Amino acid sequence: MNRRLIQRIGLGLLGTALALSAWVVWDNWGDTWLAAPSASSASTTPSASSAVDPALVERGQYLARVGNCMACHTARGGASMAGSRRIDTPFGSVFSSNLTPDMATGLGSWNADDFWQALHHGRSKGGRLLTPAFPYNHTSVISRNDSDALLAWLKSLPAVKQAPPAHTLVWPVGTQAALAVWRSLFFKPTPYKPDPAHTAEWNRGAYLVQGLGHCAACHSPRNRLGASGPVDDLSGGLMPVVNWYAPDLTRDAETGLASTPLADIVQLLRTGHAPQAQTSGPMAEVVQHGTQYMSPADLHAMAVYLQSRNAPGSASAATSVKTSVSPRVAEQGLKVYDRHCAQCHGEQGRGATTGAGQVAYPALAGNRAVLLRDPTNLVQMVLYGGFGPATAGHPQPFGMPPAVLELDDRDIAAVLTHLRTQWGNQASEVTPLQVNRIRASQGS
């Protein structure tokens, strides 16, 4: 290979790199250079005397609850919406922003255009790119009217001076250059466009699920760079770091959405409990802080949309093949169940209800959560226990005690295998290795 050819190849590679760099820069900031300054962007400090429509503030509060903004923007024991909550990712930790109207550390100097830029383009005031721990692919779905209402409510909150700690992401993940490349590969604003082939109610449900509800943030698989699928991808997957499995919301075999009455879906979202399902783990937090406050009309719209996305499937959420369990595992599983589980869930796995007819302990026979192909959530519940959400429709949920210090991996694998192979249940065996991996991933 002669020197001139090597030079040409080098110049070609350099030209390609420069062209790609220019495209990434233009892709992330080009719209700000093209946009003419607006009247609202000319003034960064809102007038203290400007009147704010109380109805707009009230709507903003409702939308913030629908979006469960508190879950990320309120540190445990901290002031509401003042940020600084640590959010762990596979690449390190980020700390949420202060959304109160403090002039120095919050949104006090932000105007409606600044806030819209953050929601629609994932850029902070001044153009700094935000990390995708903030689900701006979903907030880009939100309409400008709803964005303005959210800001009106946030501006009505008491100002809290609290700057979030610096992110602790591994280099170069948190750099603006890396974020720009990531965004060019995986992010494009997707404002919602109503589908004329469906009803207004269906479209409202789609808007809520894809936007404020950001359901695909959990119910969509992520690649190695942390990118999830499109905002309407509900095909399920393992949630990174927290290690809970978010079921595929498009498969009736996993969720039962296609065959569940709409009223029961609404009840589950409103109370966390329904005749054939109960929420736990991250979904319980969604109900606790978000969906229980939604209007009946919006909950029904979400149920209509989610049900329409479901393809009817087999009755089993796991497998139709009968599992052959060794006598030793079967005996061990029965002993553990009788000692630790039967008192609440019943000898035949039928569960128990309160005097008011509410579910106290869910039935395990025919339970889709028990039958899921991926047993991760079952292992999590046995290891760490937990409570369902406390809601107006179910104010005093019964809890599941943790067994992380009481049962070893073999005990947990055996008892879960017992649940998945008794009372008509037909699902795969859970192995001690599966339990050990989940236990190790949580550091216990």
Q: Output the pLDDT for position 15.
A: 57
pLDDT tens-digit readout, 55-71? 999 999 999 999 999 99
End-to-end CA distance of the chain: 58
Mean pLDDT, residues 337-358 taken together: 86
Strands 277-278 and 273-274: antiparallel
Q: What are the residue ranges spanned by the domains of the chain? A: 51-186, 200-308, 327-441
State which fold the 327-441 domain adopts.
Cytochrome Bc1 Complex; Chain D, domain 2 (1.10.760)
Strand 399-400 versus strand 92-95 pairing type: unpaired
Percentage with pLDDT > 90 across the chain? 66
Please give the pLDDT value at position 196: 97
> pLDDT value at position 50?
57
- Whether residue 432 has a cis bond before it, omega within 30° of 0: no
pTM of the model: 0.86
Q: What is the per-residue pLDDT across 421-435, written as a single tens digit (0 to 9) for each?
A: 999 999 999 999 999
**Using CA atoms, how far apart are residues 269 and 284, in angstroms rounded to an integer?**
9
Q: Do domains 200-308 and 327-441 have the same CATH topology?
A: yes
CATH T-level topology, domain 200-308: Cytochrome Bc1 Complex; Chain D, domain 2 (1.10.760)
- The pLDDT tens digits of the residues spanning 386-439 come to 888 888 887 878 888 999 999 999 999 999 999 999 999 999 999 999 999 999
Q: What percent of the chain has pLDDT over 70?
A: 85
List C-alpha distances in Å: 100 to 71, 81, 108, 163: 15, 6, 7, 11
Q: Is 353 helix (H, G, I), strand (E, B) or coil?
A: strand
Amino acid 30: pLDDT: 61
